[in-house]
């Protein structure tokens, strides 16, 4: 694993011990993004796509924990730092997505 100036940087091979968790989170994000486009919450399609993917991230992380624990028992405990970081990023994305409609109302559209 190569450390970046931001403290961490994972490659696909670094994520191998928690691959099932990672794949479930990515699949959840893709499904959420598709749902966001099909049932738009914003006038801008990209905001709806991002919103759907972000909202789905933390629930997908929770499902991924279950899948990972059954796929490779013990791997979550052996990779606590990666799992914790992925969980924090997932939670942050989901929380920010829930805040988007409020921020949109408060600050409105910014035109260039």
Phi-psi region of 73 (alpha: psi -120 to 50; beta: other; left: phi over 0): beta
Distance CA 19, CA 49 (A): 24
- Output the DSSP codes for 11-35: -TTTTGGGHHHHHHHHHHHHHHHHH
- Residue 25: inside a domain: yes
Percent of the chain having pLDDT more than 90?
A: 66
Domain holding 66, by residue range, is: 16-107
Q: Is residue 5, in this structure, part of any structural domain at all?
A: no
Specify the residue for token string 């942050």. Answer: 92
Note the pLDDT tens digit of each residue in 67-90.
999 999 999 999 998 999 999 999
- N residues, the chain: 112
Q: What is the pLDDT of residue 111?
A: 43
- The pTM score is 0.82
pLDDT tens sequence across 86-106: 999 999 999 999 998 887 777
Q: Is position 4 within any domain?
A: no
Q: What angle do CA 27, 21, 16 make, to 5 degrees?
A: 110
pLDDT for res 109: 63
Domain count, the chain: 1
Tokens (6 digits) for 10: 């994972």
The mean per-residue pLDDT over the stretch 31-48 comes to: 94
Torsion from C-alpha of 50, 56, 61, 67, nearest 10 degrees: -130
Residue 51 lies in a domain: yes
Task: Give a yes or no: residue 27 inside a domain.
Answer: yes
Domain assignment present for residue 2? The answer is: no
Positive/negative CA dihedral, 99, 25, 7, 49: negative
């Amino acid at each position: 694993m190569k450390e970046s100036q931001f403290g961490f940087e994972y490659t696909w091979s670094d994520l191998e011990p928690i691959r099932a968790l990672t794949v479930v989170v990515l699949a959840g994000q893709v499904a959420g993004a598709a749902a966001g486009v099909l049932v738009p919450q914003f006038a801008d399609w990209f905001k709806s796509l991002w919103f759907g993917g972000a909202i789905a991230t933390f629930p997908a992380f929770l499902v991924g924990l279950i899948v990972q624990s059954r796929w490779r028992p013990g791997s979550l405990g052996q990779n606590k730092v990666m799992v914790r970081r992925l969980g924090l990023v997932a939670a942050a994305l989901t929380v920010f997505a829930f805040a988007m409609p409020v921020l949109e109302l408060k600050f409105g559209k910014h035109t260039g």
